[in-house]
Amino acid sequence: MPRQPQQSTELRARGLLLDMDGTLVNSDAVVERCWRRWADKHNLDQEHVLSVVHGRQGHTTMAALLPHRPMAENYAENALLLAEETADTEGVVPIDGAPAFLAALQGRPHALVTSASTDLVAARMGAAGLPLPPHRVTAESVSASKPDPEGFLKGAAALGLTPQECVVFEDAEVGIAAARSAGMRVVGVGARAVAQPATVHVPSLDHVEVAFTEDGGFVLTVRS
């Protein structure tokens, strides 16, 4: 069969808000190792646990999977799990195209908006060899985890922009839902995003070309 031509979409924005895990960094190997152990500890199906975990803060995953357990126990156990995840960087690599994509954004308005903690961000971005964006909204910055829009709204505010002026890059169901709830357009990155209602989807960041307008705005050419 002849190869289908790629479709191209142009998005214009004043600022970009970027998720980390699954969007800039492939940390699936670590996530699976840690959460499979956690699933076994609690006699839960590993695959079901992994279907829930992506994009959320750990304590919210635990609350969803162990609904009758006091939240204080979830916070306590999540602190231990975060320490495990932060110490384990084996197999953490950049998403295809992430180094060039972030290099193109240097000096331009962009922010990281992630459910990861500050220490986990430093560990994974460092392991992947990626620069830290100047503005970061981490787990410590918000009162509610994705799919709540708080993180993305704070990211826009940090850039001095309205939600409508921003484009979000996300891979997870809860992250895409959070961005849409914030009133933002979303580029869904990778296989997890395909079934989600993003504005446009890309297999990886090497399908995104970044250019700029004369007044400093972004022109994104997205090849799906």
Cα 34 to its chain centre, rounded Å, is: 18
pLDDT of residue 224: 82
- Please indicate, yes or no, whether residues 58 and 141 belong to a single structural domain of this protein: no
Residue 37 placed within a domain: yes
Q: Is the pLDDT of residue 203 over 50?
A: yes
Cis amide prior to 197 (ω within 30 degrees): no
- Please indicate, yes or no, whether residues 157 and 77 belong to a single structural domain of this protein: no
What the block records as the tokens of 22 is: 């699954």
CATH number of domain containing 109: 3.40.50.1000
pLDDT of residue 1: 46
| Residue pLDDT, tens place only, 54-63 | 889 999 999 9
| Residue pLDDT, tens place only, 42-85 | 999 999 999 999 889 999 999 999 999 999 999 999 999 999 99
pLDDT of residue 132: 97
Q: Is the pLDDT of residue 210 over 60?
A: yes
- CB-CB contact of 150 with 137 (8 Å): no
pLDDT of residue 4: 53
| Residue pLDDT, tens place only, 113-158 | 999 999 999 999 999 999 999 999 999 999 999 999 999 999 999 9
Mean pLDDT for the stretch of residues 205-215: 95
- CB-CB contact of 55 with 31 (8 Å): no
Quote the CA–CA distance of 117 and 123 in Å, as a whole number: 10
Predicted TM-score of the model (pTM)? 0.92
- Please indicate, yes or no, whether residues 21 and 42 belong to a single structural domain of this protein: no
Residue 2 placed within a domain: no
Domain of 206 in residue numbering reads as: 8-26+92-223
- Please indicate, yes or no, whether residues 54 and 131 belong to a single structural domain of this protein: no
- CB-CB contact of 82 with 141 (8 Å): no
* Selection from 58, 63, 15 nearest residue 182 by Cα: 15
- Please indicate, yes or no, whether residues 17 and 32 belong to a single structural domain of this protein: no
Number of separate domains in the chain: 2
pLDDT of residue 99: 98
- Please indicate, yes or no, whether residues 133 and 190 belong to a single structural domain of this protein: yes
Active-site entry in 19, 28, 40, 206: 19
User: SS in 3 state form for 159-186?
Assistant: CCCCHHHEEEEECCHHHHHHHHHCCCEE
21 is catalytic: yes
Mean pLDDT for the stretch of residues 188-194: 96
CB-facing half-sphere around the CA of 16: CA atoms within 13 A: 29
User: SS in 3 state form for the chain?
Assistant: CCCCCCCEEEEEECEEEECCECCCEECHHHHHHHHHHHHHHCCCCHHHHHHHHCCCCHHHHHHHHCCCCCHHHHHHHHHHHHHHHHHCCCCCEECCCHHHHHHHHCCCCEEEECCCCHHHHHHHHHHHCCCCCCEEECHHHCCCCCCCCHHHHHHHHHCCCCHHHEEEEECCHHHHHHHHHCCCEEEEECHHHCCCCCCEEECCHHHEEEEECCCCCEEEEEEC
| Residue pLDDT, tens place only, 147-175 | 999 999 999 999 999 999 999 999 999 99
- Please indicate, yes or no, whether residues 62 and 155 belong to a single structural domain of this protein: no
Which distant-in-sequence residues (6+ apart) come within 8 Å of 162 by Cβ?
A: 156
pLDDT of residue 7: 85
| Domain boundary pick from 61, 87, 113 | 87
Mean pLDDT for the stretch of residues 73-101: 96
Quote the CA–CA distance of 14 and 219 in Å, as a whole number: 9
171 is catalytic: no
| Domain boundary pick from 46, 71, 87 | 87
